[in-house]
Chain A
Amino acid sequence: MSLSRSSCRPALHVPDSPTRPDRVGDYSRVCFSAAGEVERPVPDADPETLHRYAFSLVRVLDDEGVARGPWNPALDPRDLRKGLRAMLKTRLYDARMVRMQRQGLTSFYMQCTGEEAVACAFQGALSKGDMNFPTYRQQGLLIAQDWPVVDMMCQVLSNSRDRMKGRQLPVFYSSPEAGFFSISGNLGTQYVQAVGWAMAAAIRGDRKVAAAWIGEGATAEGDFHAALVFASVYKPPVVLNVVNNQWAISTNQAVAGGMATTFAARAHGYGVPSLRVDGNDYLAVRAVSDWAVERARGNFGPTLIEFVTYRVAPHSTSDDPTKYRAKDDQSAWPLGDPIERLKHHLIVIGEWSEERQVQLTAELEAEISDAAKEARSYGTLHEGPKISPATMFEDVFKDMPWHLREQRQTLGY
Chain B
Amino acid sequence: MVQAIRDALDVMLARDERVVTFGQDVGYFGGVFRCSEGLQKKYGASRCFDTPISETGIVGIAVGMAAYGLRPVAELQFADYMYPAYDQIVSEAARLRYRSAGEFTSPLVIRMPCGGGIYGAQTHSQSPEALFTHVCGLKTVIPSTPGDAKGLLISAIEDDDPVIFLEPKRLYNGPFNGHHDQPIVPWSKSGLGELPEGYYKIPIGKAAIRRSGNELTILAYGTMVHVAETAAAEVNLDAEIIDLRTLIPLDIETICASVTKTGRLVIVHEGTRTSGFGAELAAEIQERCFYHLETPIQRVTGWDTPYPHAQEWSYFPGPDRIGRALVKAMEA
Q: Mark B59-75, 1 if CB is under 8 A from A, else 0.
A: 01111110111101000
Chain B residue at minimum C-beta to C-beta distance from A173: B100
- Contact present for A223 and B249 (CB under 8 Å): no
* Chain A residues whose CB sits within 8 angstroms of the CB of B96 once the complex forms: 182
Q: Mark B88-121, 1 if CB is under 8 A from A, else 0.
A: 1001100011111111110000000000000000
Contact of B101 among A165, A181, A195 (CB under 8 A): A165
* Chain A residues whose CB sits within 8 angstroms of the CB of B102 once the complex forms: 394-395
Cα distance A294–B102 in the bound complex, in angstroms: 32
Distance between B148 CB and nearest chain A CB, rounded to angstroms: 20
Band of interface residues on B? 35 or more
* Chain A residues whose CB sits within 8 angstroms of the CB of B92 once the complex forms: 184, 186, 189-190, 193
A192 at the interface (CB under 8 A from B): yes
B306 at the interface (CB under 8 A from A): no
- Contact present for B60 and A403 (CB under 8 Å): no
Given contact pairs A227-B57, A230-B61, A401-B205, A167 touches B101 in the complex (Cβ within 8 A): yes
Contact of B99 among A172, A201, A401 (CB under 8 A): A172
- Contact present for A396 and B100 (CB under 8 Å): no
Given contact pairs A176-B104, A181-B104, A395-B101, A403 touches B61 in the complex (Cβ within 8 A): no
A171 at the interface (CB under 8 A from B): no
Given contact pairs A193-B92, A201-B68, A396-B137, A229 touches B54 in the complex (Cβ within 8 A): yes
B314 at the interface (CB under 8 A from A): no
Most chain B C-beta atoms within 10 Å of own C-beta, residue among A133, A210, A233? A233
* Chain B residues whose CB sits within 8 angstroms of the CB of A225 once the complex forms: 54
* Chain A residues whose CB sits within 8 angstroms of the CB of B14 once the complex forms: none
B84 at the interface (CB under 8 A from A): yes
- Contact present for B98 and A193 (CB under 8 Å): no
B195 at the interface (CB under 8 A from A): no
- Contact present for B65 and A199 (CB under 8 Å): yes
Contact of B54 among A191, A200, A230 (CB under 8 A): A230
Cα distance A202–B49 in the bound complex, in angstroms: 14
Given contact pairs A176-B104, A230-B52, A397-B161, A197 touches B67 in the complex (Cβ within 8 A): yes
- Contact present for B60 and A402 (CB under 8 Å): no
A5 at the interface (CB under 8 A from B): no
Distance between A191 CB and nearest chain B CB, rounded to angstroms: 8
Contact of B69 among A200, A229, A401, A403 (CB under 8 A): A200
Distance between A412 CB and nearest chain B CB, rounded to angstroms: 19
Given contact pairs A167-B101, A197-B68, A189 touches B87 in the complex (Cβ within 8 A): yes
- Contact present for B70 and A200 (CB under 8 Å): yes
A379 at the interface (CB under 8 A from B): no
* Chain B residues whose CB sits within 8 angstroms of the CB of A196 once the complex forms: 60-65, 67-68, 72
* Chain A residues whose CB sits within 8 angstroms of the CB of B54 once the complex forms: 225-226, 229-230
Chain B residue at minimum C-beta to C-beta distance from A391: B101
* Chain A residues whose CB sits within 8 angstroms of the CB of B99 once the complex forms: 164, 167-168, 172, 174, 182, 184
B2 at the interface (CB under 8 A from A): no
Cα distance A397–B205 in the bound complex, in angstroms: 13
Contact of A197 among B47, B56, B65, B249 (CB under 8 A): B65
Given contact pairs A203-B46, A222-B56, A397 touches B139 in the complex (Cβ within 8 A): yes
Cα distance A167–B96 in the bound complex, in angstroms: 11
- Contact present for A226 and B104 (CB under 8 Å): no
Cα distance A318–B20 in the bound complex, in angstroms: 43
Chain A residue at minimum C-beta to C-beta distance from B161: A397
B160 at the interface (CB under 8 A from A): yes
Mark out the residues of chain A between 272 and 289 whose CB falls within 8 Å of any chain B CB in the assembled complex. Answer: none
* Chain A residues whose CB sits within 8 angstroms of the CB of B52 once the complex forms: 226, 229-230, 233
Q: Mark B288-325, 1 if CB is under 8 A from A, else 0.
A: 00000000000000000000000000000000000000
B136 at the interface (CB under 8 A from A): yes
Cα distance A195–B253 in the bound complex, in angstroms: 42
Distance between B107 CB and nearest chain A CB, rounded to angstroms: 9
Distance between B156 CB and nearest chain A CB, rounded to angstroms: 13
- Contact present for B60 and A195 (CB under 8 Å): yes
Chain A residue at minimum C-beta to C-beta distance from B98: A395
- What are 13 A-B interface contacts by the 8 Å CB criterion? A133-B64, A174-B99, A176-B104, A182-B104, A184-B99, A189-B87, A196-B62, A197-B65, A199-B65, A395-B102, A397-B137, A397-B249, A398-B97
7 tightest A-B CB contacts, nearest first = A196-B64, A196-B61, A192-B60, A226-B57, A200-B68, A401-B249, A193-B64
Binding site for A on B (CB under 8 A): 20, 46-47, 51-52, 54, 56-57, 60-65, 67-70, 72, 84, 87-88, 91-92, 96-105, 136-137, 139, 160-161, 205, 248-250, 252
List 18 additional contacts besides A197-B65, A204-B70; criterion CB under 8 Å.
A163-B101, A167-B98, A176-B103, A190-B92, A200-B65, A203-B47, A203-B70, A222-B84, A226-B56, A226-B57, A226-B60, A394-B102, A395-B97, A396-B98, A397-B97, A402-B252, A403-B249, A403-B250
